[in-house]
Amino acid sequence: MGIILVTGGAGFIGCNLVRELVRRGERPRVLDNFFSGKRDNLAEVMDRIELVEGSIADANDARRACEGVEYILHLGAIPSVPRSVADPLASTWANVNGSLSLFLAARDAGVKRIVCASSSSVYGKNPELPKHENMLPMPVSPYAASKLSMEAYARACSEVYGMCIVCLRYFNVFGPRQDPQSQYAAVIPKFITAMSRGEKPTIFGDGEQSRDFSFVDNVISANLLALETDKPVAGEAINIACADRATLNDLVRHLNDFLGTSITPDYTDPRPGDVKHSLASIDKARDLLGYKPLVNFREGLERTVAWYLK
């Protein structure tokens, strides 16, 4: 397939994607500045990858990483809605300026296709369910605004430079190697860690907020399908999810089942920037990518719990 560059390859989704590429016999190049990614995530495959330490937002680093590359899986970003609320400039610089810097370096290097990690958060306050790609985005956090802006640059670069850049809108990805320790940790690793210690997880709100949780294997599959499809995907944004949803109260019930516990959560005030309900339409992913979810929520959660307990 030629050289594949994975930006943010030391992060949660990135390292799982790198491992799958290695399993398939590829020798991917990874660009990461280890701001939120971890070297430990790549330790097992370090001898089968090429590591470029640097930032997508640095034009020289981006050019160096893109040299000789045919395809890019772009996951490099500062993740987390709460983190973006606390420091919107940092999220914007990494997610918007960094993405544009990468796109221009890829253009100059003659990269054939870029598959970008976007987010369901772009739909924001739009109450319509399920979320489909023709809806009006109504972002309510700087993180969501940064991802929507990245999508706009992807579309613009596809139009004016003749590039093929496609954005995948992930819905609440979870799975092994997701960091539970960060103050901005995602809900599933945070809840597993707390409840496995017998501690009460904290729910912001009444726990009836719902999410279309997607196991990381589904996202990896979607990225590889987006690299390989012969359908016209340049400039497109495509939902990647399970087209099913669960509440946070459901999540606690499932975890109690898997852990053999009967823990009740603590409830507190809702957080600014959080969306109440999320559910994806995945018709476009099916039509353009041939995508279908490989792992449902409960099975993925059981696998994730087993990994953390191990």
Interval 77-125: pLDDT, tens: 999 888 999 999 999 999 999 999 999 999 999 999 999 999 999 999 9
Residue 53 is predicted with a pLDDT of 98
Q: 202-231 pLDDT, tens per residue? A: 999 999 999 999 999 999 999 999 999 999
Query: In CATH, what number does 3-174+214-243+280-295 get?
Result: 3.40.50.720
DSSP secondary structure code for residue 42 in this structure: G
Q: In the sheet where 69-74 sits, what is the strand order?
A: 50-53, 29-32, 3-7, 69-74, 113-119, 165-170, 237-240
- Say yes or no to pLDDT of 145 above 80: yes
Instruction: Parse the chain into domains and list their residue ranges.
Output: 3-174+214-243+280-295, 187-210+244-277+304-309
Q: Are 73 and 6 in contact (CB under 8 A)?
A: yes
pLDDT, tens digit, for every residue of 244-298? 999 999 999 999 999 999 999 999 999 887 778 899 999 999 999 999 999 999 9
Catalytic residue among 143, 153, 170, 291: 143
Across-strand partners of 72?
Answer: 5, 114
What tens digit of pLDDT does each residue of 117-143 get? 999 999 999 999 999 999 999 999 999
Q: Is 143 among the residues known to form the active site?
A: yes
Tell me what the pLDDT averaged over the chain comes to.
96
Query: pLDDT class for 184, splitting at 50, 70, 90?
Result: low
Handedness of CA 308, 252, 215, 148 (dihedral sign): negative
**Predicted confidence (pLDDT) at residue 157 exceeds the cutoff of 90:** yes
What angle is formed at CA 216 by the lines to CA 37 and CA 85, rounded to 5 degrees? 55
Cα dihedral angle (151, 214, 217, 63), rounded to 10 degrees?
20
The architecture (CATH level 2) of 187-210+244-277+304-309 comes to: Alpha-Beta Complex (3.90)
pLDDT, position 275: 78
The pLDDT, as a whole number, for residue 182 is 73
**26 falls in which pLDDT band (50, 70, 90)?**
very high
